[in-house]
Structure 1
Amino acid sequence: MAVSYITAAATQRLQVVADGMQGKTFAASTGTASAPSLVIGTSAFVNTQGTASVTTGTTGVLAIIPLPIAGISVSSRTLSLVSSSQSATATSSGTAANAAVITNGGTIYVGGLTAGTASTDVILGSAAISSGQTVTVSSATLTHPT
C-alpha cells in the first residue's frame, strides 16, 4: 500500500520542492507542536489520509499508541516516528496489518502504512494482538524515495 499524506502536508511538501527549484532557502515550520499517535489496525482498518475521528472504537483499530514529540526526527530521507519503543494496551483483537499517524484530534495525517514484525513501515513485537495485551512498536519509519 502506498503511503498517503493529508492534502495540506502534500501541498506543503510540493511547495518545498518548488521553492528549492527556485533557489529559495528552506525554513522550519512554526507553531506549537501537539503529540500525534500511531494507530495499529487490522486489514479492515481503513487508513486513508484525511479520515476524521479515528478512535479505539473505529473498525479494525487494535491500539492507539501516543508518540512523544521528542521522539520524532528526520534524517537522510527518513522520518522516524519513535526514538525508543512505545507501547499501549490493545483495545481489540486481531492481526496487525495497517497503521496510520493521527493528529491529536484523531484525523489521519499519514495513512497507507503497513504494520508487522518485519519488512513493514511499523515494526511490532507481535502481529497477533489480543485485547488487553501490551502492543509495542520498536520502529516506525517513513522513507522518502530517491
Structure 2
Amino acid sequence: MDFDLKTYKHFKIKRYFKTINCFFFFHGTSLKNESWIKIEQILVNHKLKYFRALNKLLINTLKNSIFKNLTVLIHGPIILLNSNNADLTFKELENINSLINLLALRLNNKVYSKRQIQKLRKISYFENVSVFHKTMKTFTRMPYYKLKSKRILPISK
C-alpha cells in the first residue's frame, strides 16, 4: 500500500465526506504558525473538530465526487469544521475569528451556502433535523387546516 502524506490526506478527505453528515466549510488564509496556533486554540476552546485541507488535493477529491460544483468555491486553504456542541450558536461560529470565513454547510449530502443558512440558530445536527421534521409536519397539515376553516355556505335564493 502506498502510504505517504498525500494519499493519507486524500483518504481523510474522502472519509470526512462519507462519515460526517453535518460540517462547515471555512475559507482560511495562508497563515503563519503563530496565527494558526491562535485559531487552533479558539477552535479547541469551542469544542470544534477541524481538518485543514490543501487546495489542490480538495479540488481533485471533489471533482471525482457528487460535489463537483463546489470546486468553484475553493480559492485557498479550506478548513472543514464539525461539532457536537449543542450550546454553540450559528452567530458565534460565523464570528469565531476574522481570519477564517464561513463558505458553506454540508447537511445530509446537500451543500448550503452562507446565505441559505443565515436563519439557523443552533449547530447541532440532531436539533436541525428535528426542526426540519417539525416544519415538514406543519406544512403537510396546512392544506387540511385551510380547508377545514373554509365552510361551505348554503346558497340562498
Both proteins in one fold, TM over 0.5:
no
Larger radius of gyration: 2
- Scaled to the shorter chain, the TM-score interval is under 0.3
TM-score, normalised with respect to structure 1: 0.26
* Structure with the higher fraction of residues in helix conformation: 2
* Structure with the higher fraction of residues in strand conformation: 1
TM-score, normalised with respect to structure 2: 0.24
